[in-house]
Amino acid sequence: MLQVADVSFGYGTADRPALVIDRVSATITRGALAGVLGPNGSGKTTLLRLMSGTRVPTHGSVLLDGQPLRQLSRRELARRLAVVPQETHLAFDYTVMEMVLMGRHPHLGLFEVEGPSDLAVAREALASTGTETLEARDFNTLSGGEKQRVIIAAALAQASDVLLLDEPTASLDLGYQLEIATLLRHLNQERGVTMVVSTHDLNLAAALCRELILLRDGRVLAAGPVAQVLTPENIRRLYDVEADVHVHDGTGHLTVVPLRRVER
Question: Does 200 score more than 80 pLDDT?
Answer: yes
Decide if 203 contacts 196 (C-beta within 8 A).
no
Q: Give me the domain span that covers residue 31.
A: 2-261
Q: Which of 100-104, 117-121, 216-220 has the highest mean pLDDT?
A: 216-220
Question: Does 15 score more than 80 pLDDT?
Answer: no
If pLDDT is split at 50, 70 and 90, which confidence band does 260 have? very high
What is the average pLDDT across 110-124? 87
Q: Which of 30-39, 91-100, 117-126 has the highest mean pLDDT?
A: 30-39
Least confident of 30-44, 173-187, 205-219: 173-187
Interval 67-95: pLDDT, tens: 999 999 988 898 889 999 877 777 788 99
Domains contained in the chain, number = 1
What is the average pLDDT across 103-122? 85
Residue 176: CATH number of its domain: 3.40.50.300
